[in-house]
Structure formats: structure tokens, C-alpha cells
Copies of this chain bind each other. A is one copy, B any other.
Amino acid sequence: MTNETARRIVVLAGGVGGSKFAVGLRTLLARSEPMAAVTVIANTGDDLWLTGIRLQPDVDSLLYALAGVNDAERGWGRSGESERVSTELRAWNAGWPWFTLGDLDLGTHLARTGWLREGVGAVEIVRRLSARWPLGVEILPMTEAEVDTIVTVRDGDGKRTMHFQEWWTLHRARLEPIRFANPGIEMALPAPGVTEAIARADVVLVAPSNPVVSVGPILSVPGIRDALRDTGAPIVGISPIIGGAVVRGMADVCLAAVGAECSAAGVAAVYGARSAGGILDAWLVAEEDSATLPSIRALGIAARVAPLWMHDTDSSAQLAADALALATDVSGL
């Protein structure tokens, strides 16, 4: 493939599943299509202010994984991490004692916060962070606005709200969620470059991320759904549900909160067929879920089975290859 025809691939992604998939995609392309350009549009719904500093967990997960400095065993954060500062914060009774804040990770947050306070935008900040290592992938935050996810949970006869991270990390998603919201998102703009990347993409992939709290916020930024509906590129998603169960994280309770079934077909229905006002042209499901193919196709979404487990970089790369092959096939339809 020549430079002129180098493909532009856009990925919508959350943190952990998105990172594994992005690393697999990069590995695949390095072998087969080195001129291809990948833009990952990252969820920023789980961003937070903590002790006066700004954290952007999904962006950082992507950054660390693509840089190869992530803690693969733990599944998040930096490898070789320590908690000298965090231990002090606990001694001061400051911040969230249940929220792990590594020292190396904190360096990223402080750099980000300092730049934010200088008036630097979120895209430029991610660009600066990305410049430290040869990532081979462009990371774009979905928006430069602050649209932290707020969860409303049932509390006895009433309800109460909390930051997504409190619900997810402190309560391990055990409090029954009624609603997820991103206050202010209706006024937010897509980050500079986001809709442009979607418009000129040759392929758009939806990573196997949480459809409600990872990909959901991306789709809620005004303008992004429209860009997806209008792009000439095929849009292929990968199911985050395998064998009717969540791979990791707590997508099941999130799906229940939005009235969706925790199945490959249930998530496909949340996204919807592009032909019916949704965003998907095609959906890749696990071999274990082949029984769901008819109901997905009934939605107007092309569907195919493939091995979805991302055990290592090779299996992630193979998954990316299967997703790109499905994109090519639906383009030809």
C-alpha cells in the first residue's frame, strides 16, 4: 500500500479494553500497513479533580499502554509504581484514601494540571504527553470540556449522586445505578480534530469498551454522533461482552441501568444500526455468542464471529485484523 492510499483509522475507546485493542491494532499495522494513521478518540467521562489536580484516567491508560510503561499485570497505572505521596495524603486525611495515586502517575497529573492552569487546552496537553514516547498512534480526548460522569444510585427509598470514580472505585459499582449523566455535556464541543478525524476516516472502529460509561460519553458529545452518521467510512464495533458476560469492569450493571441486556446483541442494540439512526455498520462478536448473530442482523447490523479474548498483543492484533477485515467486507456491500 502506498502513502497516497494509507488508511486513516479512527478508534473510539475507553481505558483498559481500548488500550489493549489500540496496542493490538498498532502491532498489526506495523506489520501489514505501516503507513496507516490511527487516531484514538478517548473517553474523558471518568476524568476527575482530586486534591486540586486533574486526572484523565482513560487517556493515561492509553498513553501508558502504547508507551509500554503500563502495569500490565494490575491492568492500570504505571509499572514500577510507588505510593510515597499517596501515603502522605492518607496521613493528612486529604483526598480519597481508597483511590490509588501512584507517584509516577502523579507526575503526569501534575504536568497536566500545571498546563491547564496556564490555559493550555486538553488536546495540546495530550499532544505534549504523547510526545515523550513514540506511540505510533494519535490520542485525542473526546472534548476539552469538563464533563465528568455523575452516577445516580438508589439509596434506601431515595437516591443520591456521586462522581463516577467514587461509584466505580470505592463502591466497586455495587450500589445500584439509576442514571449516568455528564453534566454540561450538552454544551460541550468535540475536541479540535475529533469530528475532522471521523469525517476523513477510512475505517471507524468501536473498541471493546464499556458501552455506557466509556463509549457512551463519547457519543454524547454533541456533533460526534452526527459525524459518525455522516462519515463515508464503515463503522465496526467489537463486543465487550463475551459469552454473555463482561470481560472485566462492571458493564453489566451499567447496561442494566440503561435498560439493556448484558449480551453481545444487547450492546449492539444500545449502539444501534447506522441505517436506523445508530452508529454501527457491523459488529464483531465472540464465537461463544454466535447464537446472537440473528438478532444482531435483525437490527440491521452486519455481524460476524471472531475470537475476542485479548490475552496478549498477538491476540489483540488478530482481533484488530478481524475488525478491519469486517470493515472492508461491509464497505464492499
Contacts and interface: CB of A to CB of B under 8 A. Distances in A.
Q: Chain copies in the assembly?
A: 2
A114 B95 contact: yes
Interface in A88-125: 88-89, 91-95, 103-104, 106-108, 110-111, 113-117
A332 interface: no
A85 interface: yes
B52 A113 contact: yes
Contacts of A86: 107
Given A53-B113, A82-B84, A114-B52, A107 B128 contact: no
A329 to B, nearest CB: 43
Given A82-B84, A84-B103, A103-B103, A132 B91 contact: yes
Nearest to A87: B107
A94 B106 contact: no
A309 interface: no
A330 interface: no
Contact of A92 (B87, B91, B103, B107): B107
A89 B85 CA distance: 14
Contacts of A132: 91-92
A296 B127 CA distance: 61
Contacts of A110: 51-53, 85, 88-89, 94-95
Contacts of A51: 110-111, 113-114, 117
A114 B94 contact: yes
A170 interface: no
Given A128-B92, A132-B91, A85 B106 contact: yes
Contacts of A53: 52-53, 110, 113
A291 interface: no
